[in-house]
Amino acid sequence: MKLSSIIALAVAPLLLVACDLVAPAQQRDRIDRVAIAPTTPVYPPQPPALSAETRTSYEAILAQVTASGDLFFTRRAPTKVLNEVELVFFSLGRGPELLTRIEAAMTADPKARAWLLPRQAWLLGRLGQFDEARAVAEIARTDFPAEPDAWFVWAFANSQSASGSRVPVTALRDAIEHLLVMAPDYLGPGDTTAEGLRQQLTAPPAPTTPGGR
């Protein structure tokens, strides 16, 4: 079957299969996207070193996404699939291109803003554009309060920044609590769970060093 026919039938499910096929190689090269807080200008600062097998697999997935145009994004791929595609773009050093594609998809289909605005905010944060990330996350939460991603990304964007959050921790925790009611088994961008973020927000502050402020 031709690639164009395959994509026309079911873009997202096929990408999910492709991601499953490269899982063993991917596990060797995967970046921990959750443990590294996006507080540097570029996140990650450099693409990881990929094995030849993984690079070939990632480039094949990238080709499928490219061939689908806006369809992959406007058809609302499952979060797990979109997370893996994000990993592919960043691992190949093409994170900004993914952001551009998502912005283009929202222009092509305004209805897709409901689930792509939160992803846009997340990617802006990954790329070190924290003020922009917070602004987009605010719009997403205001315009699409029924979207769990909007609440997660709003809390995340306001808890991960170079200059510190401008929102009280209690407000961030309240947003996550609201999210947990909406989606108790929530999985968000970067394979991050709402429960994991809530644990971070409720953790006791780190002890200060002697003589520290």
| Domain CATH code at residue 41 | 1.25.40.10
Residue 207 resides in a domain: no
Number of structural domains found in the chain: 1
Residue 212 resides in a domain: no
Residue 18 resides in a domain: yes
Helix (H) or strand (E) segment spanning residue 115: helix 113-126
Q: Is 184 helix (H, G, I), strand (E, B) or coil?
A: coil
Mean pLDDT, range 80-109, rounded to an integer:
93
Higher pLDDT, 30 or 61: 61
- Residue 171 CB-half CA count within 13 A: 9
Mean pLDDT, range 36-65, rounded to an integer:
71
Residue 211 resides in a domain: no
Residue 209 resides in a domain: no
Q: For residue 66, give the amino acid letter.
A: T
For residue range 135-171, what is the model confidence (pLDDT) as tens digits? 999 999 999 999 999 999 998 888 875 455 577 878 8
pLDDT at site 3: 33
Instruction: Band the pLDDT of 49: cuts 50, 70, 90.
Output: confident
Please report the sign of the dihedral spanned by the C-alpha atoms of residue 121, residue 124, residue 130, residue 131: negative
State what percent of residues in the chain have pLDDT above 70. 68
Residue 113 resides in a domain: yes
For residue range 32-46, what is the model confidence (pLDDT) as tens digits? 333 323 333 345 556
Higher pLDDT, 39 or 94: 94
Mean pLDDT, range 79-92, rounded to an integer:
92
Instruction: Band the pLDDT of 30: cuts 50, 70, 90.
Output: very low
Residue 213 resides in a domain: no
pLDDT at site 205: 56
Mean pLDDT, range 17-34, rounded to an integer:
39
Residue 2 resides in a domain: no
Whether the pLDDT of residue 98 is over 90: the answer is yes
User: Which domain, by its residues, includes 15?
Assistant: 8-202
pLDDT at site 192: 81
pLDDT at site 130: 87
Average pLDDT of the chain to the nearest whole number:
76
Whether the pLDDT of residue 193 is over 90: the answer is no
Q: Phi/psi at 193 (nearest 5 deg)?
A: -100, 150
For residue range 108-133, what is the model confidence (pLDDT) as tens digits? 999 999 999 999 999 999 898 888 99
- What is the Cα–Cα distance from 51 to 67, expressed in whole angstroms? 24
Show the CA angle centred on residue 13, arms to residues 56 and 80, nearest 5°: 80
State what percent of residues in the chain have pLDDT above 90. 43
Listed residue (77, 91, 101, 90) closest to 127, CA to CA: 90
DSSP 110: G
